[in-house]
Amino acid sequence: MRNPTESAPDRLRPIGIDPLTGKQQYAVTEPGSALDAIADGHAIKAAAALVTVTGTALENGDDASDLVPELYGALSEMVEVASRHYAPTGLDTAAFGPTARALSEALREALRR
């Protein structure tokens, strides 16, 4: 069994902003833990905010090239989050309807917060 503090920086994930200091909070997360779920939620909210800012910049004709590193980081984290929660289904497209609706609602809820 490995030491839980070993490779902790690999699992160090942002979990939100401290309202008193305004600084980013980080936690060492374990797969499936409550902190892991909080970190996933924070990642989704951060990516949604970044997409909104980038979309606004592009719609206004502004140069969004400065956002590329942040977009890459957010996309990388979203791929990791999605891959942890992805469960393969059959090719029956009817099976995707409820999943798509649930994902759409979850994304809308994340954008409201």
Q: What is the pLDDT of residues 18-32, one digit of tens each?
A: 899 999 999 998 888
> Would 68 be classed as within a structural domain?
yes
> Would 2 be classed as within a structural domain?
no
Identify which of 7-16, 30-39, 87-96, 103-112 has the greatest average pLDDT.
Answer: 30-39
**Least reliable range by pLDDT among 10-14, 80-84, 94-98:** 94-98
pTM: 0.60
Q: What is the pLDDT of residue 95?
A: 63
> Would 105 be classed as within a structural domain?
yes
CA 50 from centre of chain: 11
Core vs surface per residue 70-99: b (16+ CB within 10 A) or e:
eeeebeebbeebeeeeeeeeeeeeeeeeee
Q: Number of folded domains in the chain?
A: 1
Domain that residue 102 falls in: 8-112
Res. 4: pLDDT tops 60: no
- DSSP class of residue 12 equals E
> Would 3 be classed as within a structural domain?
no
CA 73 from centre of chain: 10
